[in-house]
Amino acid sequence: MNFEGRKIFIIFFIVATSIIYSVKLFHMQVIDNTWSERAAFISETRREIIPPRGVMFDRNGKKVVSNSPYYDLRFIEKNIVDLDTQALAKLLQVHDTFIRYRFDEIVKQQGIYKGKSNYQKAREYTFIQGITKEEIARIAPELYRFPGFYEVATSMRNYLYPNGANILGYIAEVDKEKVDNDPYYRSGDFIGKAGLERFYEEELRGQKGIKYLLRNAANNTIQSFDEGRMDTMAIQGKNLTLSIDIDLQAYGEQLMKNKLGCIVAIEPATGEILALVSSPSYDPNLLVGRQNISANYPKLLLDPYMPLFPRPTQAEYPPGSVFKLIQALIAMQEGVITANTGFPCTSSIVGCHGHAPAGNVSSAVKVSCNPYFYYTTKKIIEQGKKKSIFEDAAEGLAIWERYMHSFGLGVKLETDIYGIRPGLIPNPAFYDRWYGKNGWAFKTIRSIAIGQGEVKLTPLQMANVAAVIANRGWFITPHCVKSIGDDGPHPEYLIKNKTMVDSVHFAPVIDGMRRVIEEPGGTGKNAKVPGITVCGKTGTVENPHGKDHSVFIAFAPMDNPQIAIAVFTENAGFGGTWSAPITSLMIEFYLKREISDKAKEQRILDAVILPTLKKK
């Protein structure tokens, strides 16, 4: 083999290659000016594109929540050159001191880690959010005078109805903890903070896009990097179809104006929440954007009537006489009474309101006889299974508690709104803590028989009890979203939850609820709706702090029910006086879209039922 020849070839190849590269480098650096210009380019800038949030529609296709175009003013400090703070303040129409204050605020928001600030001069931050189209038209042409600042098109929520604030929630700037723990978010991003905006955040927020830009040494954007081949499109969040009937919601809020309380309406067959009224309420647009939140949130928070408090899901009230319906159902299932069992109206045991003795369950429901349900509940709690009355009561109460849980009481209804409260269904351990083990029996806890004492339910649970009875023994967990995009609701909102009571036992209770409204002597005649058979139950809840609370639950029509409802009016007295007529108006509006008794409607609209609050 000719090794000498190969050696010469390799040497020649290396020398030739070196000469070629040297000539090319000389050409790039000395002759071709375009390469000098390219060297002035800094690394590409990666800019996130925030997608519009998903839109919300009501169950009838009416748009409830949309997006309006706004702009953010953002900055990267390392690109800021000789900032004239007074000129910038004049352009933004803010006080001179705001510019320095805002910089300090942003740095402070980033927090400290291991003694050092998390703030980074090379990172993008939002200086001002929620700039309108009109404002940006004035600001944008002047931004060239302030290198490092630039506008970014974004959007903000637009709530098309001044209703449903406690359902929809609101969005606000993401906090540092979320930024640190979720790579999706950057400082200045918005996130759902309450209601459906929070629960469905991942579905509503969409998918961010990325746009790569080239800047020159003067920090001016030259062009898209690689002609945009690396860019990704932002994908709008999924739309939500709500179960809410926005017109029914608005009507309910109108009826509850100048009153404290709430209305919950559910479609029994699906568990879809039709209305979730919390009164007083507020226009959700009051909490759109940083400036509005700063101005309005403190006012709403300090309002003594607590408009921010979601009464339907977080207020826990004694249910009063509506609780008697469940006592009757449990007692029949346990076999301690039958549908035809009668008890005397012994008012010396527990006070009542003067009526003929109830000879069966249906009649007892109709007249809401307190002694009847005292005897009924006593039979559930003390069944004689143990020799000791104390041990017997403990075992009976444990059985009673399991029934209650099967109705969704004393447990959280895992609905799609945050902050659900479980209510309170006392168990043996609860009373052991109060009275000591073997220190109590039914007589000690008898107030639970008529929905007083330690028992607490949320209005959502009360409405769900009406749905359970309407369905003759089962319910689907109440929820506010009918469909995520075209995919339907979350799978758990399709499951039937069966109670421990067989369907056969519901007939006498339902007949009694019909008689409450339809027959003379019933306690709920004000809930009557022409042409519709309504089944309901009044409740009057003792209030140690003032006038009693008014409660009514119902469903309609009696056959093939379309709506189950609970109305709770604080400090309004007897359940049949105020909550019953409100119930009838809601049912008629939903089923007929018109109101036949205008005088009844006007009476409710004109009523002011607000307690006088003591000044602190």
The pLDDT tens digits of the residues spanning 373-418 come to 999 999 999 999 999 999 999 999 999 999 999 999 999 999 998 8
- Determine the Cα–Cα distance for residues 132 and 72; give it in Å rounded to an integer: 9
The reported pLDDT for the residue numbered 215 is: 55
| Neighbour tally for 200: CB within 10 Å | 23
- Determine the Cα–Cα distance for residues 113 and 186; give it in Å rounded to an integer: 17
Higher pLDDT, 296 or 326: 326
Question: Among 433-442, 449-458, 543-552, whose mean pLDDT is lowest?
Answer: 543-552
| Neighbour tally for 480: CB within 10 Å | 25
Strands 261-267 and 272-279: antiparallel
The pLDDT tens digits of the residues spanning 147-171 come to 999 988 888 889 999 999 999 999 8
The reported pLDDT for the residue numbered 464 is: 98
The reported pLDDT for the residue numbered 15 is: 61
The pLDDT tens digits of the residues spanning 63-108 come to 999 998 888 899 999 999 999 999 999 999 999 899 999 999 889 8
Q: What is the mean pLDDT of the chain?
A: 88
| Long-range pairs of 103-110 with CB within 8 A, sequence gap ≥ 24 | 106/187, 109/176, 109/187, 110/176, 110/187
The pLDDT tens digits of the residues spanning 511-531 come to 999 999 999 988 899 999 999
DSSP string spanning 94-113? --HHHHHHHHHHHHHHH-EE
pTM summary value = 0.84
Here the tokens at position 375 are 């005897």
Residue 508 has pLDDT above 80, yes or no: yes
Residue 358 has pLDDT above 80, yes or no: yes
Indicate the pLDDT class of residue 23, thresholds 50, 70 and 90. low
- Determine the Cα–Cα distance for residues 110 and 587; give it in Å rounded to an integer: 51
- Determine the Cα–Cα distance for residues 139 and 133; give it in Å rounded to an integer: 10
Residue 459 has pLDDT above 50, yes or no: yes
Percent of the chain, pLDDT > 90?
Answer: 65
Indicate the pLDDT class of residue 574, thresholds 50, 70 and 90. confident
Residue 600 has pLDDT above 90, yes or no: yes
| SS3 per-residue string spanning 174-213 | CCHHHHHHCCCCCCCCEEECCHHHHHCHHHHHCECEEEEE
Residues in the chain: 616
Indicate the pLDDT class of residue 175, thresholds 50, 70 and 90. confident
Higher pLDDT, 188 or 105: 105
Determine the Cα angle at 552 with ends 548 and 556, to 5°. Answer: 175
Structural domains of the chain, with CATH: 70-105+120-242 (3.90.1310.10), 246-284+312-606 (3.40.710.10)
Residue 249 has pLDDT above 60, yes or no: yes
- Burial (CB count <10 Å: 0-12, 13-18, 19+), residue 456: buried
Asked if 261 and 568 touch (Cβ cutoff 8 Å), the reply is yes
Indicate the pLDDT class of residue 36, thresholds 50, 70 and 90. very low
Work out whether the CA dihedral 365, 371, 375, 380 comes out positive or negative.
positive
Asked if 508 and 472 touch (Cβ cutoff 8 Å), the reply is no
Here the tokens at position 546 are 């003032």
The pLDDT tens digits of the residues spanning 434-447 come to 999 999 999 999 99
Once rounded to an integer, what is the mean pLDDT over residues 486-500? 95
The reported pLDDT for the residue numbered 530 is: 95
Higher pLDDT, 315 or 215: 315
The reported pLDDT for the residue numbered 42 is: 43
- Determine the Cα–Cα distance for residues 130 and 269; give it in Å rounded to an integer: 42
Work out whether the CA dihedral 61, 64, 70, 76 comes out positive or negative.
negative
Residue 348 has pLDDT above 90, yes or no: no
Indicate the pLDDT class of residue 233, thresholds 50, 70 and 90. confident
Asked if 204 and 53 touch (Cβ cutoff 8 Å), the reply is yes
The reported pLDDT for the residue numbered 5 is: 61
Cα maximum dimension of the chain: 127
The reported pLDDT for the residue numbered 112 is: 82
The reported pLDDT for the residue numbered 38 is: 45
Question: Among 37-41, 357-361, 437-441, whose mean pLDDT is lowest?
Answer: 37-41
Asked if 422 and 412 touch (Cβ cutoff 8 Å), the reply is yes
Asked if 413 and 426 touch (Cβ cutoff 8 Å), the reply is no
